[in-house]
Amino acid sequence: MSSSTPAVPVPPTPEVLQLEAELAERRAHLSTTVDELVTRLMPREILRREVEALRIRVAQTTHTPDGQIRSELVAAVLGATSVVLIGVGLVRRSRS
């Protein structure tokens, strides 16, 4: 009868350990990147970013760099809105 001895695992070399550590690090980075992309592509997140961008554009348009309201622009918008509303009212009134 022959006796067989169980195989003893060979300890990994430092190069193998370094490669395994690098692989684990890259997997973690890839997982984080995929999670970030999934979050960025969610409709709610896209809407949130667009609303924030709109708020910034409105604030930049209606305010001077030192934070003062651009009264001439606000007055022009209010005037144009008034003209449109009066025009719509006149058209509706003439049709009735």
- Do 47 and 20 share a structural domain? yes
Domain that holds residue 55: 13-62
In this structure, are residues 76 and 84 in contact, taking their beta carbons and an 8 Å threshold? no
pTM over 0.75: no
Mark out the alpha helices in the chain (DSSP H runs): 14-40, 43-62, 71-95
pLDDT value of residue 57 = 94
Overall domain count for the chain: 2
pLDDT value of residue 96 = 73
- Do 75 and 49 share a structural domain? no
pLDDT at 1 over 60: no
pLDDT at 59 over 80: yes
Calculate mean pLDDT across residues 15-26.
94
pLDDT at 73 over 80: yes
pLDDT value of residue 2 = 55
In a domain, 3, yes or no: no
pLDDT at 50 over 70: yes
